[in-house]
Homo-oligomer: A and B are copies of this chain.
Amino acid sequence: MLRHRGSQASPRTAAVREAALDLFASQGYRATTMQDIADRVGIRGPSLYKHVRSKQELLVMVIDHTMEGLLADQRAALRSSDDTVTQLIRVVEAHVRFHARHRREAFVGNRELDALEEPHRSRVVRQRRQYERGVRRVVEKGIAQGVFQARSAQLASYAIIDMGIGIATWFRPEGGVKEADLAYAYADMALRLVGIGPGPSPDAGEPGSGIAGVGSLASSGRTG
């Protein structure tokens, strides 16, 4: 899932993209200079232009690639079943797994959307709306079928999406929370959110323990 497009280009070009992704995630797009990227790769600044047309192109590639992966994963989840509950579970799990596995990409896609020049920004905004619609339709279908209860399908789907997006902010693979456990926990919470209450079996987790090892990407802090 989400094999780096860069792996088809020269190794150097792939390294440039990886360096850009990492720096955009940790410092921000505008705070990252072409010099920073070149240093990371071990070449001189101007040499980057042998691999890439502009700094903006690097951002476009990172965000486009991310949105395509996200949408593809969601489509697969939606196609996998006709059962609404199963669909919601899989859509949420795909969402969560993506944000855990591709934290930097998701983080950049969220924070640097404004740094995208037209027409790229508008295209990505459309893709994001489409992605949100995918979640909302499942919630609406469940409500119509009487299997979900929710005050507002719109608010419930925003809440579900936003809690998943937050994962990219604090999740750390080394932190001890396994991606699968995270996906299951969030799917359970999403189901509860829409009025289905299986919840965890009371002895499924260790409630008081919290889950260790939450660190932070870049500056991490959260809330505001």
Contact = CB atoms under 8 A, between A and B. Distances in A.
Given A121-B219, A222-B132, A224-B107, A159 B166 contact: yes
Interface in A45-73: 63, 66-67, 70
Given A166-B159, A185-B155, A140 B208 contact: yes
Given A161-B166, A186-B159, A224 B106 contact: yes
Consensus secondary structure, chain A interface: helix
A85 interface: no
Contacts of A105: 224
A111 interface: yes
A207 interface: yes
Nearest to A162: B166
Most buried by B among A149, A169, A204, A221: A221
A193 B218 CA distance: 28
Interface residues of A, number: 80
A214 interface: yes
A88 interface: no
Nearest to A108: B224
Interface in A116-166: 116, 121, 124-125, 128-129, 131-132, 136, 140, 143-144, 149-156, 158-166
Interface of A: 27-28, 30-31, 63, 66-67, 70, 105-111, 113-116, 121, 124-125, 128-129, 131-132, 136, 140, 143-144, 149-156, 158-170, 177, 182, 185-186, 188-189, 192-193, 195, 197, 199-200, 202, 204-211, 214, 218-224
17 contacts: A110-B222, A113-B224, A131-B223, A132-B222, A144-B207, A149-B207, A151-B185, A151-B188, A153-B210, A154-B211, A155-B185, A158-B163, A158-B166, A158-B214, A189-B193, A193-B193, A195-B197
